[in-house]
Amino acid sequence: MLFLISYKFTDANAQDKGSKMLKEWYDKGGPQNRPEGYDVKSWIFLPQHGNGYSVVDADSLETIWKQWSPWRELLEFTIEPCADLDQTVALYC
């Protein structure tokens, strides 16, 4: 099932800490360490605003939470189902 995940850092300190976490995540294998059943279809991050959007194909909300739970203290995010990848990406491009 496709989901749209919208996220925004809570403040500048959270954005700074999040950028360090992201670098560390990539250094440790990044995308290869995503949970099974979680596939990123599209990803947009706007660093100047501290927010972004991901369209993912995930087998459950629990799988999404496995990926995003380390960020819960730094981000405000919403997860919502989306029916069509092209239409959803077009909203943000």
For residue 54, give the CATH number of its domain. Answer: 3.30.70.260
How many domains is the chain built from? Answer: 1
Per-residue pLDDT, 88: 65
Instruction: Say what the pTM is.
Output: 0.81
Residues of the chain with pLDDT under 70: 84-85, 87-93
State how far the alpha carbon of 21 is from the alpha carbons of 15, 66, 71, 77, 81, in Å.
Answer: 10, 15, 9, 17, 27
Task: Determine whether 47 is exposed, middle or buried from the number of CB atoms within 10 Å of its CB (0-12, 13-18, 19+).
Answer: exposed
Where in the sequence is the domain holding 36, given as residue range(s)?
2-91
Per-residue pLDDT, 82: 86
Per-residue pLDDT, 93: 56
Per-residue pLDDT, 75: 92
